[in-house]
Each structure stands twice: as C-alpha cells, then as structure tokens.
C-alpha cells in the first residue's frame, strides 16, 4: 500500500513535467502534421524518467535544478550527459 501512495504522490509532478515538456519541446519531435512522432514519444518518456531520477537523488536542490534544466533545455544531449556524467548514487525511495 505504501508503494501505491508513494506513486500517487508523484503523479502531479509527472503530469506537470509532461505538459511542460510537450509545450516547450523542440520542433524536431514533430512530424509534418504537427503531431508528435514516435521518436518524440520515446524521447519524452526518457526525459520524464530522467527528471524523476534527478529529483530522487540525495543532492542539494541547486544540483537537482541544474540537472533538470540541462535535461529540459537539451532533451537528447542533456539526457546523454546526465546518464554519463551525473555521478548518480543509489536513489532513496
């Protein structure tokens, strides 16, 4: 039951990040009709997972915001840089 409560507490943040990412995403994620392409959905899902991972880390708020900004501003490059160079530890659940 605790895992369900923990998951439902994260839903508003996930919904907010999803809305912001779709609204502010680069044009390369869209196909000719203006809808998200398959690659856009994959990248969006990976960015959301990375953002959730950033905020689960036991870092200072400044470091969390810096990594979140890097991932948000550079969706693909920030994702790669985060997973290669962030020095992530075991996230506490």
CA–CA separation, 38 and 61 (whole Å): 33
% of the chain surpassing 90 pLDDT: 23
What is the structure's pLDDT at 5? 61
CA–CA separation, 60 and 62 (whole Å): 5
Q: What's the predicted TM-score (pTM) here? A: 0.58
- Domain ranges within the chain, ordered by starting residue: 2-85
pLDDT above 60 (res 20): yes
- E strand residue ranges, 1-93: none
């Amino acid at each position: 039951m605790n895992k369900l409560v923990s998951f439902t507490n994260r839903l508003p943040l996930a919904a907010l990040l999803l809305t912001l990412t779709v609204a502010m995403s680069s044009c390369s994620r869209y196909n000719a009709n203006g809808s998200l392409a398959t690659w856009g959905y994959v990248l969006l899902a990976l960015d959301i997972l990375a953002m959730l991972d950033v905020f689960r880390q036991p870092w200072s708020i400044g470091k969390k915001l810096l990594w979140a900004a890097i991932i948000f501003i550079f969706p693909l490059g920030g994702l790669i840089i985060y997973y290669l160079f962030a020095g992530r530890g075991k996230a506490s659940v």
